[in-house]
A and B are shown apart, each in its own frame.
Chain A
Amino acid sequence: AQRVTQPEKLLSVFKGAPVELKCNYSYSGSPELFWYVQYSRQRLQLLLRHISRESIKGFTADLNKGETSFHLKKPFAQEEDSAMYYCALRGGFQGAQKLVFGQGTRLTINP
C-alpha cells in the first residue's frame, strides 16, 4: 500500500529561523517523492521533486530510503513561505499519474 504521513498539521516558526516539514512514506517499490505548495488563494503547485535534486525558493528535500522520509528544509524562513505544504508520492507503473498525498502541513512564518 502507498501511504504518505505528514505528522504536523500546523507548524509555526519565526522569520529567519530554520524550517523543517516532515514527511514519511510507505511504499514497497522505488517511489517518486514531491513537495507541493498552496499559497493563499492560489492553486496547488509543484515546489520540488526528489529526482531534480534542486533547491527551489531556498527549500531542499532529500530522499532517505532507509528512513523512508522526504523532509523539506529551509535554513532561514521568510514570511512569504507561509502556505500549505503537501508531500506526495507517485508509485505504480511507469507513466501513471496517480499521486498519493499526505494530509498537509500549514506553515506560518511569524514576523
Chain B
Amino acid sequence: KAGVTQTPRYLIKTRGQQVTLSCSPISGHRSVSWYQQTPGQGLQFLFEYFSETQRNKGNFPGRFSGRQFSNSRSEMNVSTLELGDSALYLCASSLPGLQETQYFGPGTRLLVL
C-alpha cells in the first residue's frame, strides 16, 4: 500500500497570507490527524477528522482549520499567517477502530517570512 502523502512538501509564505496543506491517507484509512512540529514546542496535536467530522481538537487558535472529504483526504488551512506558524506540519492516518496505529506522512515544511 502507498503511504500517507502530503502536498506540497515545502512552502514559503509571507505574514498575513493564508495557506492550504493537503494530506492523502493510506487507502482504507478514515481517520486523519494533523500535528505541528517546531523546535521549541515539539510535536503538538492540531485536530483529527473522521468520516468528514472533526472528532478532536488541540489548543490552537481559530486561524487553524481543517476539513475532510468523502474520500478521506484532508486539508488544513491556516489564515493570517504569523512568523510563529513556521513549522513542519505532519499528517497521520489510521483505521477507524480502537487502538489503531497512526501512520505519518513526510510532512509539509512551511516557512513564513
Contact = CB atoms under 8 A, between A and B. Distances in A.
Interface of A: 32, 36, 43-46, 49, 51, 86, 88, 92, 94-104
Contacts of B97: 95
A48 to B, nearest CB: 10
Q: Per DSSP, are chain B's interface residues mostly helix, strand or loop, or mixed?
A: strand
B53 to A, nearest CB: 12
Interface residues of B, number: 28
Nearest to B42: A103
Interface in B46-73: 48, 50, 55-56, 58
B56 A46 contact: no
Contact of A97 (B33, B43, B90, B105): B33
B102 A99 contact: yes
Contacts of A92: 56
A98 B42 contact: no
Nearest to A44: B104
B22 interface: no
A86 B43 contact: yes
Nearest to B101: A46
Interface in B1-26: 3
A92 B47 CA distance: 13
